[in-house]
Chain A
Amino acid sequence: DAGVTQSPTHLIKTRGQQVTLRCSPKSGHDTVSWYQQALGQGPQFIFQYYEEEERQRGNFPDRFSGHQFPNYSSELNVNALLLGDSALYLCASNALVWDSSDTQYFGPGTRLTVL
């Protein structure tokens, strides 16, 4: 049973560029959340997708956008990259049940470096 997978594992971009990160949820999961983890910090919630719609969003600017596909996989897009966007980007998946939720399981992350 495959867990959460993410690609690529590492990425180097320059300021002003755009980046797309990808995530495949754990088998049986329909909800995907994205988190940003700066070095030495805990993950910060970016947004969550369920039924191909953004359901909840953290305190991140509109430069951060996402998408969920019919097969539940998801993409995170970041436009106009800033140096401060350098971080580990984590994808988590769970099976969302009405008024409750299963545990979120995390992928290995994508390390983004902005130069």
Chain B
Amino acid sequence: GESVGLHLPTLSVQEGDNSIINCAYSNSASDYFIWYKQESGKGPQFIIDIRSNMDKRQGQRVTVLLNKTVKHLSLQIAATQPGDSAVYFCAENKVSVGNSKLTFGKGITLSVRP
């Protein structure tokens, strides 16, 4: 079957430190992977995505790494800020002709200590 899962349920980091959130997936046929951030009472907010033919992509303060050999995805947040506190989801985008769907993991809570 296909599944996207996260290794740890919670992560606590000191403000200013770098955060690394890890994710494992099982479907090697996925087209690309997305990281979403969800704050309390809000819908998931797109952070960054990466295509299956790439192994690294950088955004503003964030980097996503994809290791297809071990089916592992990670999100790195540089200089973590209090506003980064939220639940983070990795999602797999399985695209076929004419439609697409997202498969989410359970989420990991990032808590930033002042």
Give the contact stretch, choosing among B41-49, B56-64, B74-82.
B41-49
- Chain A interface SS verdict (over half): strand
A24 within 8 A of B: no
Q: Which of A92-115 contact B (CB under 8 A)?
A: 92, 94, 96, 98-101, 103-109
Tell me how many residues of B have a C-beta within 8 Å of chain A: 25
In the A-B complex, list the 4 residue pairs whose CB atoms are closest, starting with the nearest.
A42-B104, A106-B43, A55-B99, A101-B100
Interface residues of A (CB under 8 A from B): 4, 31, 33, 35, 40-45, 48, 50, 55-56, 58, 90, 92, 94, 96, 98-101, 103-109
Interface residues of B (CB under 8 A from A): 34, 36, 41-46, 49, 89, 91, 93, 95-107
A-B residue pairs in contact (CB < 8 Å), sample of 8: A45-B102, A50-B98, A50-B99, A55-B99, A56-B99, A56-B101, A90-B44, A108-B43
